[in-house]
Amino acid sequence: QKEVEQNSGPLSVPEGAIASLNCTYSDRVSQSFFWYRQYSGKSPELIMSIYSNGDKEDGRFTAQLNKASQYVSLLIRDSQPSDSATYLCAVNIGTDTGGFKTIFGAGTRLFVKA
């Protein structure tokens, strides 16, 4: 089982709709979770971080975390064509040496149709 799993998509939604992106992770003690957006040919950039169970909202974006189910999601409300990108779920996993490493899912490609 991969440490962080996402549906690769593509996910296609019409402009103005809600896009729902999902991610599951395998490490039960993970404490930090992130969503990054990557436009084609560009580097990833942070959209949301979430550290505790529940919802976290920032503008049109809502991250949801359920540690018991090892599940994190990203909702994009009022989707715009400019939201078309690959969305990467990332999880921090503790290491035996007391540090951490950030593991990414393979990403979900989102297309927002005008």
Pairing of strands 19-25, 71-76: antiparallel
Asked if 102 touches another protein (CB under 8 A), the answer is yes
Number of residues binding to another protein, judged by CB under 8 A: 24
As a whole number of angstroms, the distance between CA 28 and CA 114 comes to: 40
Among 12, 55, 80, 101, binds another protein (CB under 8 A): 101
Retrieve residue 75's tokens: 């909702």
Among 24, 36, 85, 87, binds another protein (CB under 8 A): 36
Asked if 97 touches another protein (CB under 8 A), the answer is yes
SS3 81: helix
C-beta of 53 vs 102, nearer to another protein: 102
Q: Of the candidates 12, 8, 32, which has an alpha carbon nearest to the alpha carbon of residue 22?
A: 8
Q: Which residues here bind another protein, judged by CB under 8 A?
A: 8, 32, 34, 36, 42-46, 49, 88, 90, 92, 95, 97, 99-107
